[in-house]
Structure 1
Amino acid sequence: MRIAIAGAGAVGQSIAGELLEGGHQVMLIERSAQNYQPRAIPGAQWVHADACELSSLEETGIETCDVVIAATGDDKVNLVVSLLTKTEFAVRRVAARVNDPRNEWLFNEAWGVDVAVSTPRMLAAMVEEAVSVGDIVRLMTLRQGQANLVEMTLPEGTPLAGRRVRDLTLPSDAALVTILRGGRVIVPQPDDPLEAGDEMLFVASGDVEQRISELVHDPPAVE
């Protein structure tokens, strides 16, 4: 994929490095002379420009990108970049960094944001995940709140231990996407057994999260 990153500070450069290792084409857009350091990430295309200016985005060919990431340290800039790239250039996927949690409510479809990433929220979710065995933990909100990525770790003594994935009858608005077991990442198949300690990741709408918890703790009897 071709990916543009607005903001080449420490966060933007880190993202660029990871994406380049994944085989993607990366363009870094940076307006600050201090942060414009092509030698830092030589595999990326560097553009010295203001991503909040329509003419600058036109010159970069931003419309050829599959994804735009607004990764600056200024929420106002990230919102403007998201709105311009989505509405003026029809970029298919726009992700934006949320620096101040109080501004998170703005990062939605109205501002062109498909995925909002809030570092404080993610850190809080990781802490909850570490201490909340057996509870539903929301890791990330997807599609402006239409669905969430949630995690549940099966506790010791779970009635699901020894049962198969197919025995977990989930609501229609939920899907089990992966199981983390030790150092393994398991793509769940119907006949795969479940074990205590499994970290189960679901994509689900908010109104069925409680139902998932109930099914895990009190699954129906297998006929």
Structure 2
Amino acid sequence: MNVLIAGAGRLGAEVAQVLSASGNTVTVVDPDQMRLDALRGRFAARLVLGDASEAAVQARAEVAHAALVVAATGQDEDNLVISLIAKRRFGVSRVAARVNDDENAWLFDHHWGVDVAVPAATPLVSLIEEATGATDTVALMRLSSAGVGIVETTITEESSSAGLPLGDVELPGGTMVATVVRAGQPTAPRPDLILRPGDELLLVSHAAGEQEIHSAFQ
């Protein structure tokens, strides 16, 4: 999937790293050259200097080829304009925008081209799931320096592992379960823990890919 991220601050950088690690083609746009330089080499992404609230800059960043735009700047007015241009001018199918000030949340709707409004306090994984429409496995981040990937997968009614003890699931080599989140609470990943629909598992691996881990549980 082609993704354009407007804003190379903390949030934009984290989203870019996650989506790049998941195999997406990522473009990051920011008017601050120093911010872009700080991202260079951290992950695979095209870096474009410019203000994404300008149609010409979005055009130069080839936003028309993007399936997803994430407006992640620290200014609500910029995020709204970025969203509107991406949706109305270039026809981007899915636009997610960060809401920095809760009082402005009512503006972030389809009238401004926003499909997903993301409050600033939203956890990163939730932002990615909502923005991309993902509902099962989301690669959270890849710690390239250590060669370690962190992957989340959710057990559903249809999952082959539903109803099985965690210890009975054959994991790919070099992979371990870090925690199981059940009803919003982290649970120790004991071998005798029976997996239930709705359980969210966080796994760490230095060898297996996202699809291998997903297949083990689904």
Structure-1-length-normalised TM-score: 0.57
Matched, 1:186 2:155: yes
Separation (CA, whole Å) in 2 of partners of 1:186 and 1:52:
40
Matched, 1:6 2:6: yes
- Equivalent residues of 2:3, 2:27 under 8 A apart: yes
Classify 1:41/1:104 alpha carbon distance in 2 versus 1 (closer, same or farther; 3 Å). Answer: same
Separation (CA, whole Å) in 1 of partners of 2:17 and 2:159:
37
C-alpha RMSD of matched pairs (Å)? 3.5
Matched, 1:32 2:32: yes
Matched, 1:91 2:92: yes
Structure-2-length-normalised TM-score: 0.59
Give the C-alpha shift of residue 100 in structure 1. 0.8
For structure 2, the residue ranges without an aligned partner over 5 or more in a row are 137-151, 164-181, 184-195, 200-218
User: Which residue of 1 is the match for residue 105 of structure 2?
Assistant: 104
Separation (CA, whole Å) in 2 of partners of 1:86 and 1:103:
19
Separation (CA, whole Å) in 1 of partners of 2:14 and 2:55:
26
Classify 1:98/1:88 alpha carbon distance in 2 versus 1 (closer, same or farther; 3 Å). Answer: same
Classify 1:192/1:95 alpha carbon distance in 2 versus 1 (closer, same or farther; 3 Å). Answer: same
User: Which residue of 2 is the match for residue 212 of structure 1?
Assistant: none
Classify 1:86/1:200 alpha carbon distance in 2 versus 1 (closer, same or farther; 3 Å). Answer: same
Give the C-alpha shift of residue 33 in structure 1. 2.6
Separation (CA, whole Å) in 2 of partners of 1:93 and 1:52:
17
Q: How does 1:1-223 map to 2 (within 5 A)?
A: 1-37=1-37, 38-39=39-40, 41-120=42-121, 122=122, 185-189=154-158, 200=198
- Equivalent residues of 2:156, 2:198 under 8 A apart: no
Separation (CA, whole Å) in 2 of partners of 1:184 and 1:65:
26
For structure 1, the residue ranges without an aligned partner over 5 or more in a row are 127-138, 144-176, 202-223
Classify 1:44/1:193 alpha carbon distance in 2 versus 1 (closer, same or farther; 3 Å). Answer: closer
Give the C-alpha shift of residue 40 in structure 1. 5.0
Separation (CA, whole Å) in 1 of partners of 2:28 and 2:161:
43
Give the C-alpha shift of residue 106 in structure 1. 0.5
Report the secondary structure of 1:20's partner residue: helix
Amino acid at match of 1:36: L
Separation (CA, whole Å) in 2 of partners of 1:191 and 1:19:
27
How many residues in Structure 1 have an aligned counterpart in Structure 2? Answer: 150
Decide which structure has the larger Cα Rg and report it: 1
